[in-house]
Amino acid sequence: MRLIGWAIALAAAGLTPVAAQPPANGPAPTSTAATPPAGTAQNPGKADAAQSAAVVPGSVGHMLPTPGFGQPDGRKGIQNQVTPTGEEALSFHNYWLLPLCAIISAVVLVLMIIALVRFRRGANPTPSRNSHNTAIEVIWTLVPVLILVGIAIPSIRLLRHQYSPPPADLTVKVTGHQWYWSYELPDYGVQFDSYMLKEANDPTRQANQRARTNADGPPLLAVDSRLVLPAGKVVKFIVTADDVIHSFAVPAFWVKQDANPGQLHETWAVTNREGVYFGQCSELCGARHGFMPIGVEVTSPAKFAQWIAQNGGHMPGAKPAAPAAGGTGGGAPTPATPGVTTAATPAPNNKNVANRATGNA
């Protein structure tokens, strides 16, 4: 048997291609630091976070985040909510569910202590043989039912508010990729990709990739191109994916919607508080699931219009701007050629377009 094993090993060695065999007297291979290709973390052939222009902190699209709002701050509870649905859910959690849990836990603890003390062997050498008690059975049946009814009424009301959105003022299509997000504002002619900003000492960061600073947001949450939305406007999010299941989640908006390939899901948000709000993909979607953050900037309608113009878009009813050089992602629009007249494309009715998914007039 040992001879057969040696014969098999020699035959396998003889069948090994020459290119795969180590050189007999060749120079020792040198180890060189591999340079990551463009888009190594997200999309091959595309820079992860390339910036064509200098970023001015505080400008539109680069608002300074507010500590304690829209980002993790070490608390154990829910983030401060900035939408009506989120405020209702936060109030339901803090002022109804938590007290109810505390009361139930206290009652159960008291009953356990009474049972341990009063019905121990020393106090009851001869145990009771009673097997039924009508009053107790009625109580332990009715009390849980009343508790469930008390939870169900505000829960159903919250669900009704969450899934019965008002007429939308603008629509945003959100597409999840491995591992970045794409945003499209069809009524405004704006479409761009959003990637995580890497740290300055990250070895996978390329020379054309801007490093994260504190003005961009917390580590692993800052993005190169934020989604900018106007304050006080109802925003409808149409969420989908093009590869695997993702989840579009912004905790401060009380928004968490799965993004499934081949399906369109809808959620909405509205807030009057200007600021920067961060989120992350909340569905395990592959090796770099934890590196596809979400950055949303809520600003005034005037600055929102400025951001639309900077990204080569147009306000509804206005003349579309010329396409920005290099596509999208915050670059300035390409100036029109003198002497050339471009016919204006009629802008779609925003209200009808935004509500076609729900059928609202």
Bridge partner residues of 183 (DSSP) = 174, 192
Assess whether 197 and 218 both reside in one domain: yes
Q: Which two tokens stand for residue 246?
A: 């993702």
Assess whether 312 and 280 both reside in one domain: yes
Assess whether 158 and 237 both reside in one domain: no
Among 70-74, 121-125, 262-266, the range with the most confident prediction by mean pLDDT is 262-266
302 near 274, Cβ under 8 Å?
no
| 253 lies in some domain | yes
Assess whether 102 and 227 both reside in one domain: no
- Check which CATH number belongs to the domain holding 183 and give it: 2.60.40.420
> How many domains is the chain partitioned into structurally?
2
The per-residue pLDDT for 337 is 40
What's the average model confidence in pLDDT over 99-106?
Answer: 96
The SS3 of residue 173 is: strand
Question: Can you point out the beta strands (E) in 61-220?
Answer: 170-177, 180-185, 190-194
Assess whether 190 and 251 both reside in one domain: yes
- Check which CATH number belongs to the domain holding 88 and give it: 1.10.287
Assess whether 189 and 103 both reside in one domain: no
DSSP string, 29-60: PPP-PPPPPTTSSS-TTS-SSB-SS---TTST
Q: Is the pLDDT of residue 244 over 50?
A: yes
What's the average model confidence in pLDDT over 339-355?
Answer: 40
Assess whether 199 and 158 both reside in one domain: no
pLDDT in tens, 196-219: 999 999 988 887 888 999 999 999
361 near 355, Cβ under 8 Å?
yes
The SS3 of residue 356 is: coil
Assess whether 151 and 192 both reside in one domain: no
Q: Is the pLDDT of residue 272 over 50?
A: yes
CA-to-CA dists, residue 328 to 19, 91, 255, 344, angstroms? 45, 40, 26, 20
Give me the residue label for tokens 């936060």. 90
Q: What is the mean pLDDT of the chain?
A: 80
Q: Which domain holds residue 223?
A: 170-331+348-354
Which position has the higher pLDDT, 29 or 217?
A: 217
Q: Which two tokens stand for residue 360?
A: 């609202």
Assess whether 148 and 174 both reside in one domain: no
Closest of 88, 93, 90 to residue 157, by C-alpha: 88
The per-residue pLDDT for 47 is 54
| 251 lies in some domain | yes
Assess whether 180 and 312 both reside in one domain: yes
Phi-psi region of 145 (alpha: psi -120 to 50; beta: other; left: phi over 0): alpha
